[in-house]
Structure 1
Amino acid sequence: MTTKTPVVALIAYPNFSPFHFAVPYLVFNAELPEGRLFDLKIVSAGARPLTAERALTLHPDGGLELTEAADILVVPGWDDLNAHPEPDLVAAMARAHARGAHVVGLCYGAYALAYAGLLDGKRASTHWMAEKDFSARFPRVQLDMNALYVDEDRLITSAGTGAGLDCCLYIVREYYGPKIANKVARTMVIPPHREGGQAQFIEQPMAVSTQDAQVNRLLDYLREHLGQPHSIDQLAARTSMSRRTFTRHFSKATGMTLVDWLVNERLQRSRDLLETTSLSVEKISDLAGFQTAISLRQHFKKRFQVSPRDWRRTFGQKTAAEPH
């Protein structure tokens, strides 16, 4: 356990998100019977009062000079992904990191750290919806889109929204150990540690139809008979094409191979059944076309980083029985 009360500088910015601000505020402002764990300072450039997205006004404890004594500097989200942090904030983050402090970007707050150049050559995480945009803007950052949070060289970034809680609790564990972190989690009525990466929460939509009417009819057929095995030769014959022509048409229309398309559809069907039924994994694998529960579990774990059982536990109906 740390002997000095760590100072946390929580950065507010124009049009800040109340939720993203509230997450580190609640965690680092927590007071246990043992006492207050962190000395939380609310900071804004120029010590200016700031307005949140709607109807909330924040009065900070002071300006960026408060970051000079901070052990942890937190940027809770970022409003405008096109906006560079003010030079004074960039300098404050750089000085904090150089003297050994943790610099944290929650959710889109990773943009602030990346704009400052702190993440160049390092791993980082952010909200999955920003994957393409972030990668295009910051090609030198090694974006890990499965991690709920990443800590590399005292630069800590998190995935979207709820992952900020996981990230802040991780920081509590780093300073005080798991026992105290668990106490903080219990006071907030949240799990002390969430396993799995953000890949499990990412929607991966597939087009219901394509611009190829013949392929569309085939996709409808495949969805109606997903539990059956399908070969390229059989489907090529069904569409009156050669194997080579069918493969080219299918790939052009869907953007993926037949095997990849079937796996994606079967995983989606499996997710739906896990969430809405109490069917066993064996039965679900049969209905989705994986043939064996082992095959389903392997594909599911590879895609979502969690088991079908853990998926059901997280997203399934409360009345659903545990799969066998």
Structure 2
Amino acid sequence: MRTVGCLIFDGVRAFDYAVIGEVWANRATRPGVPAFDLRVCGPVGARVRLGGGLERVPDLGLAALAACDLVVVPGVEDPAARRPAEVLDALRAVSSAGVPVASLCAGAFVLAEAGLLDGREATTHWALAPELARRHPAVTVRPEVLFTGGDGVWTSAGVAAGIDLCLHLVRTAHGQQAAAAIARAMVTAPFRAGGQAQFIPSPVPPVDEDDPLARVRAEILAALDTPWTVRRMAAAALMSERTFARRFTATTGTTPLRWLLDQRILTVQRLLEETDLPVDTVATRCGFASAVSLRPVFVKRVGVAPREYRRTFRGREEG
């Protein structure tokens, strides 16, 4: 997934357009990140009016999307506006040809208008989810998640969730190390699971060492091989189980055990990419009984077996 097409047209949100550029524009100063070819495509010869009064002339026409490995649609300022027929036709053509398509925030309305979300689960900004469901009843709208998708079509919730989806797509295609390097350059969180709640009081968990939840999370990450339970976590935080679980979910947007599994799988990916440790050793270091018990969980979360993941992401060229 080296060649990425950013589809722009009148009304695209400038923030989402910038996010796509930050993630996939080639940066010589990002070691460990592949040399991406980001192609900004749109109606031929048109000066596209982005949100906020900005304008951008596409580098290439809509036909160039067919040669991309991934097409990303930014969010739009007005979800109710109708898109140009040529834009919708181009999306249908690339999707039919097997090119993965992703949308950020209200870009889901564009995919839905093109018919790409019929019969699928999708998300968008929580405030727009009821309208998406009303306009497109064939779409199963999930307003509670950060991003969702698979089988070639992806959608994300608003603002920061678009970054989460972009990093997820990089991680899926190029490994955790590449996604983490991009996140580090953007000074953003390297991993938030797609099933995490959209709307939480504190989108970024606090790092105050005096905060018992932050302290417990740090303790868990330093000892993933420990048989952690909610009871054990709560005891470390000096809280009751009910209070701990409620405060943890309110702070992170996910349950303690789901967060723990996310961190274990993420660490497994990093160790498979960066070390030559046997898979059994990687599994036990991350809290799994063995490679056998790790395999079904890893396959469900990542899509491939641990050994296949290692073969895919070890030894890839960085340029």
Whether 2:242 is the aligned partner of 1:295: answer yes
Higher normalized contact order (CA 8 Å, seq sep 6+, divided by chain length): 2
Is the contact made by 1:128 and 1:202 (CA closer than 8 Å) also made in structure 2?
A: no
CA offsets 1:222-252 (integer angstroms, 9 cap, x no match): xxxxxxxxxxxxxxxxxxxxxxxxxxxxxxx
Q: Which amino acid aligns with 1:294?
A: E
Q: 1:279 to 1:24 in 2, by over 3 A?
A: closer
> 254, 263, 266: which is aligned to 1:305?
254
Q: Residue in 1 aligned with 2:57?
A: 59
**SS of residue paired to 2:128:** helix
Q: Which runs of 5+ in 1 are unaligned?
A: 204-267, 282-291, 311-324
Is the contact made by 1:30 and 1:184 (CA closer than 8 Å) also made in structure 2?
A: no
Is the contact made by 1:77 and 1:108 (CA closer than 8 Å) also made in structure 2?
A: yes
- Normalised to the residue count of structure 2, the TM-score between the two structures is 0.63
Is the contact made by 1:29 and 1:39 (CA closer than 8 Å) also made in structure 2?
A: yes
Alignment of 1:239-254 (within 5 A): none
Q: Which runs of 5+ in 2 are unaligned?
A: 214-238, 260-319
Q: Residue in 2 aligned with 1:160?
A: 158
Q: Distance in 2 between matches of 1:79 and 1:299?
A: 35
Alignment of 1:75-224 (within 5 A): 75-195=73-193, 197=195, 199=197, 201=199
Q: Which amino acid aligns with 2:56?
A: L
**SS of residue paired to 1:128:** coil
Sequence identity (%): 32
Q: Distance in 1 between matches of 2:96 and 2:198?
A: 35
Is the contact made by 1:123 and 1:152 (CA closer than 8 Å) also made in structure 2?
A: no
Q: Which amino acid aligns with 1:124?
A: A
> 24, 27, 49: which is aligned to 2:23?
27
Q: 1:77 to 1:196 in 2, by over 3 A?
A: closer
Q: Distance in 2 between matches of 1:171 and 1:35?
A: 13
Q: 1:40 to 1:18 in 2, by over 3 A?
A: same
Q: Residue in 2 aligned with 1:258?
A: none
Q: Which amino acid aligns with 1:305?
A: T
Shift of 1:168: 0.5
Q: Which amino acid aligns with 1:109?
A: G
**SS of residue paired to 1:13:** coil
Q: Which amino acid aligns with 2:108?
A: A
CA offsets 1:131-190 (integer angstroms, 9 cap, x no match): 211111112211222221112211010010001111111111121111111111112222
Is the contact made by 1:125 and 1:157 (CA closer than 8 Å) also made in structure 2?
A: yes
**SS of residue paired to 1:150:** strand
Q: Which amino acid aligns with 1:20?
A: D
Shift of 1:301: 6.5
Whether 2:11 is the aligned partner of 1:9: answer no
Q: Distance in 2 between matches of 1:47 and 1:34?
A: 36
Q: Which amino acid aligns with 2:141?
A: L
**SS of residue paired to 2:242:** helix
Q: Residue in 2 aligned with 1:225?
A: none
Q: 1:79 to 1:150 in 2, by over 3 A?
A: same
Q: Distance in 2 between matches of 1:300 and 1:133?
A: 31
Q: 1:280 to 1:143 in 2, by over 3 A?
A: same
Q: 1:280 to 1:139 in 2, by over 3 A?
A: same
Q: Distance in 1 between matches of 2:16 and 2:33?
A: 25
Shift of 1:97: 1.2
- Normalised to the residue count of structure 1, the TM-score between the two structures is 0.62
**SS of residue paired to 2:116:** coil
Is the contact made by 1:149 and 1:157 (CA closer than 8 Å) also made in structure 2?
A: yes
Number of aligned pairs? 226
Q: Which amino acid aligns with 1:154?
A: G
Q: 1:89 to 1:301 in 2, by over 3 A?
A: same
Q: Which amino acid aligns with 1:53?
A: G
Q: Distance in 2 between matches of 1:68 and 1:156?
A: 18
Shift of 1:86: 1.7
**SS of residue paired to 2:82:** coil
**SS of residue paired to 1:156:** strand
Larger Rg: 1
